[in-house]
Chain A
Amino acid sequence: MSLLSVENLVVRHGLLQAVRGVSFTVQRGETLALVGANGAGKTTLLRAIAGAHQPAAGRVLLNGADLSSVPSHKRVGMGIALVPEGRKLFVQMTVEENLLLGKTAGRAGDWSVSKVLEMFPNLKPRRHAKTGHLSGGEQQATAIGRALMSNPDVLLLDEVSLGLSPLIVDRVYAALQGLIASGTTIVLVEQDLNRALSVSDRVICMLEGRVALEGPSNAVSRDDVTKAYFGLHRKSPGSVPA
């Protein structure tokens, strides 16, 4: 049985259909990368898996259990944790307080404040600093640590490299490699295709709310993804004569 299954998911934002019938599965220990242009539906999809958006149709299953009626905070307790785009930390609270908050709705497990600080040594001297005073890289490390504190089965990462310098992104990805090596299941939204392909087992390229390409990361070429990304493999939509 797949750890995570997404079945014919449709998510709307008012008049706009952001996700249009998406299906895929994720196996335990697998890293799946979601790529696609701005507006392709990646973030909406990730948030729907986390329970932050209610789908108009379709369902999300974790270990075969239908999550349709499970609110987001209870999904954390079932093993789904989201690191949202833009980090969304509690900026008036310290690093340690943010991390401990991650534990409140989560599951029992090995993750602790000290284990997060071991994983991100740059946070050690900042442990009692308010997160609003941190650098972008320190904030991102705190956001990932907060999610890990819930001891997730599936970690959903939304654009963890956004707004960070290349050096800091390297550090964040080095930490992620450690998580992947330890068998953590990850669904990753990433704009940098090479990074996405280098850390993932499988890649899905989304276009206008749909899956345009899916395949093993070591088998799809940059050219394949580029064509799917821009929709250049498709025929013209509609049939209105020129």
Chain B
Amino acid sequence: MPHPQQQAVLTAAGIHKRFGALVVLDAVDFAMAADEAVGIVGPNGAGKTTLLSVLSGAFPPTAGTVSFKGGDVTSLPATQRCRLGLVRTHQVPKPFSGMTTFENVFVAASHGAGLGRDEAYEEALGSLKLCGMLGVANRRAETLGLLDRKRLELARALAARPTLLLLDEIGGGLTDGEAGELVGTIKELRRRKIGIVWIEHIVHILLQVAERLICMDAGKIIADGEPQAVMADPEVVRAYLGGGPK
């Protein structure tokens, strides 16, 4: 939870999400301040991506409310939440194929942030520069390798001018060197005071950025706090590795 003196910019209260008989989120309460960097971990099927989808507006919750910047956004679609500054990336990057890298980012600036042509152009260039993609700006997106697709996913999100950026496994599949570059970019976002919620399986990468860590299991938050303490929590270790101490 944010420090008591910090005002929460994003709040999810009593979130339930069912898919048919399957309960994926079970009474999840979550709040974070605007300048926090929060990591979310948990075993496969814990509900992490579903929580991100509910926060970003991709899925409506079955029950519960989501508030952003003091307003109830539960019934707002993802596009409108994006305009408010609540922006997400996806686990599997899906750029617009047939368009260049620049055009992909320009779409995010013009439609995601709602900028006019000239401003969107500058915003797209700035995002590409920050993500180290100016060299491939004119390449068609479908020709990009995995690292560049991940960078493009991030560049598109940045061009939408986020106050709060929700990252879903953006480090997955990258080499150590590539992951290091990505961490460098995300640390730059922190310097720019952009709040981060980052789901990541690669815990040692996440711990370089997250100041607070949440662990989910079976649709619930089972630990929330200082990252090293969360990773040492016996409940967290049990969620991943099963059983008790050997």
Q: Which A residues fall within an 8 A CB radius of B?
A: 15-18, 35, 37-39, 191-195, 197, 208, 221-222, 225-226, 229-232, 234, 236-242
Contact = CB atoms under 8 A, between A and B. Distances in A.
Interface in B192-241: 201-205, 207-208, 231, 237, 240-241
Contact of A232 (B176, B184, B204, B243): B204
Contacts of A234: 204
Contacts, number: 93
B44 A194 contact: no
B202 A208 contact: yes
Contacts of B173: 15-18, 39
The binding surface of chain B is classed by DSSP as helix
A229 B208 contact: no
B195 to A, nearest CB: 18
A195 B243 contact: yes
A13 to B, nearest CB: 9
Interface residues of B, number: 33
Contacts of A222: 237, 241, 245-246
B78 to A, nearest CB: 26
Contacts of A193: 241-243, 246
Contacts of B44: 38
B145 interface: yes
Contacts of B241: 35, 191-194, 222, 225-226, 229
B246 A240 contact: no
Contact of B203 (A15, A225, A232): A232
Contacts of A241: 184
B183 interface: yes
Nearest to B244: A194
B184 A192 contact: no
A194 B243 CA distance: 6
Given A15-B145, A193-B243, A226-B241, A39 B201 contact: yes
Given A15-B146, A15-B149, A242-B187, A230 B242 contact: no
A98 B139 CA distance: 50
Interface string B14-37: 000000000000000000000000
A51 B207 CA distance: 37
B43 A236 contact: no
A208 B177 CA distance: 13
B114 interface: no
A237 B178 CA distance: 8
A216 to B, nearest CB: 13
A17 B173 CA distance: 7
Interface in B99-127: none
Given A15-B146, A240-B180, A195 B242 contact: yes
B227 to A, nearest CB: 10
A229 B241 CA distance: 9
Given A15-B149, A37-B201, A238-B177, 20 more contacts: A15-B145, A15-B173, A16-B172, A18-B173, A191-B242, A193-B242, A193-B246, A194-B246, A208-B202, A221-B246, A222-B246, A230-B240, A231-B205, A232-B204, A232-B231, A236-B204, A237-B204, A238-B180, A240-B181, A240-B187
B243 A237 contact: no
Contact of B201 (A38, A237, A240): A38
Contacts of A197: 246
Contacts of A39: 172-173, 201
23 contacts: A15-B145, A16-B172, A37-B201, A38-B43, A38-B201, A39-B173, A191-B242, A192-B242, A193-B246, A195-B243, A197-B246, A208-B202, A230-B204, A230-B240, A231-B204, A236-B204, A237-B177, A237-B179, A237-B180, A237-B204, A238-B176, A240-B184, A242-B187
